[in-house]
Amino acid sequence: MTIWLPDITDSKQPAYRAIAEAIADAIRQGRLRPGDRLPTHRLLADLLGVNVSTVTRAYREAARRRLLGGEVGRGTYVLGVASEAALFAREKRPEGGVIDLSPNTPPALLRDPDLAAALGGIDEREAARLLHYPATADALQHAHAAAGWLGRRGVGAQADSIVVCAGAQHAMDSAISAFQEIDEVGCEPLVYPGLKAAARRWRRRLHPMAMDGEGVTPGAFEAACRAGVRLAVLSPTLHNPTTATMSLERRQRLVEIARRHDVVIVEEDVYGLLPEHAPPPLAALAPERVLYLTGLSKTVAPGLRIGYLVVPPRLRERMRDASHHTAWYVSPISAALATRWLADGTAWRRLLAQRRELAARHRLCARHLERFAWRGVPHCPHVWLDLPPGGSPTLARQALAAGVVVVPSAVFAVGRATDDGVRISLGAATDRASLAEAFARLAALPAGQRES
């Protein structure tokens, strides 16, 4: 726990707001760092001479500002500039000589002829239609295009089972919200930040299940099911952040356990099409109980905020209200662009180009980071550096001092995660030269290197 005490004696604001402001000031000044754990509500109340409810309200206000985050059994932690929220906060992006490898984005293009051509091909009549509310026929057209794309991944979904969303995160939010009666959701001990955000939004407790090199282990999944978990979120292919991919045998074992305990699985598969030969998704092995979600931002273009949620027949009634509500979040222009690119092959061509670029960036990683214990495969958009327990905050601070931003495990951790490390996003660098420079800086750091 961090020894920190706010001074609110001269504040003219309500006590709870003064405490929240003091937290914000301490983070800005570096006196509170990302990952620091704050005093308990009761302890801080005793130290300040205020009611416990005042501290609770202050922490809630700070959490609303995305300064703090909390997990059951872990306490209240500083998110600050390296938090899951700050990964998406444009105003906190480093500038100047800092190379930011924190956002998990596909490699960017300096020019995009595909978008220019698509926009130039829209005539006045079509443009006018896209600026009005979408019609039912439009939604069906988008779903049919999505079905063809999902078929490339081995998901045999019919158009009426696909909910078109405003990105994969929106699809995750919709899936979690549909199970109002469930308080606890099984997941990996390290998860992508969007799942933690969705769980907080819908007041779900996350139940971490142990992983090995392939992902969640059958023993951990079985134990969670016996403990009462009836909804689990899994990322079997190119797991974010560890890069783990489950074998077919592992997937089959988890599906068998889910059937035995009648557990519903939400499969997050936004990277599923990046490997040339990935095992079939869980949705292909157990279509009756897997809600499958993916999107186009990680494979086609980061600004193309279109996601797809495939709903099993027995759960469609549950999702009916969410589907109707979700439709209004989808931009007609983005949906039309996605549908066009899926139909004319542009989306697949862009994905293949990304495979080639990521493979080249992995070769840079292998060349520069050989002194680190790192994990990754050629078409994964990120790599994971394994570190000794407690090593990630030190390495992240050293990296930032050297002008490189990486993401420590605390941002991904659910409960007391046993694996420590940092995630490096290969696509975040503007070009290979910038990535090579970032790797050279990291290679010079003392923390995290293999012992000779």
**Are 74 and 51 found together in one domain?**
yes
82 CB neighbour count, 10 Å cutoff:
24
CATH code at position 272: 3.40.640.10
CATH code at position 426: 3.90.1150.10
Task: Please state, rounded to an integer, the average pLDDT across all residues of the chain.
Answer: 86
Counts for the chain of helices (H) and strands (E), in that order: 16, 17
H or E segment to which residue 384 belongs: strand 382-387
Look at residue 120 and tell me if it is in a domain: no
Q: How many domains is the chain built from?
A: 3
**Are 424 and 299 found together in one domain?**
no
**Whole-angstrom Cα distance, residue 310 to residue 146?**
10
**Are 241 and 330 found together in one domain?**
yes
Look at residue 117 and tell me if it is in a domain: no
Q: Given this model, what pLDDT does residue 151 score?
A: 95
Are the CB atoms for 246 and 279 separated by under 8 Å? yes
Q: Is the pLDDT of residue 74 over 70?
A: no
CATH code at position 32: 1.10.10.10
**Are 405 and 271 found together in one domain?**
no
**Are 151 and 230 found together in one domain?**
yes
pLDDT digits (tens, 9 = 90+) for 399-420: 988 999 999 998 898 877 678 9
**Are 210 and 287 found together in one domain?**
yes
**Are 376 and 339 found together in one domain?**
no
Q: Given this model, what pLDDT does residue 235 score?
A: 98
* 122, 347, 366, 384, 442 from 431: Cα distances, Å: 31, 21, 17, 20, 17
**Are 373 and 293 found together in one domain?**
no
**Are 323 and 197 found together in one domain?**
yes
Q: Where is average pLDDT lowest: 55-69, 110-124, 305-319, 345-359?
A: 110-124
320 CB neighbour count, 10 Å cutoff:
13
Q: Given this model, what pLDDT does residue 317 score?
A: 81
Closest CA relative to residue 139, chosen from 331, 320, 417, 317: 331
Are the CB atoms for 251 and 269 separated by under 8 Å? no
Q: 60 lies in which domain range? A: 15-82
Look at residue 432 and tell me if it is in a domain: yes
**Are 226 and 302 found together in one domain?**
yes
Closest CA relative to residue 363, chosen from 387, 385, 392, 383: 383
R_g of the chain, CA atoms, integer Å:
23
Enumerate long-range contacts of 118-125, CB under 8 Å, 24 or more apart.
118/337, 118/340, 118/341, 118/346
**Are 363 and 262 found together in one domain?**
no
One-character DSSP codes across 59-84: HHHHHHTTSEEEETTTEEEE-GGGST
Instruction: Please give the distance of CA 134 from its chain centroid, rounded to a whole number.
Output: 29
Look at residue 1 and tell me if it is in a domain: no
Mean of the pLDDT values across residues 218-235? 97
Domain boundary among 344, 376, 409: 344
pLDDT digits (tens, 9 = 90+) for 134-192: 767 777 889 999 999 999 999 999 998 999 999 999 999 999 999 988 999 999 999 99
Mean of the pLDDT values across residues 348-359? 95
Q: Is the pLDDT of residue 53 over 80?
A: yes
**Whole-angstrom Cα distance, residue 94 to residue 107?**
18
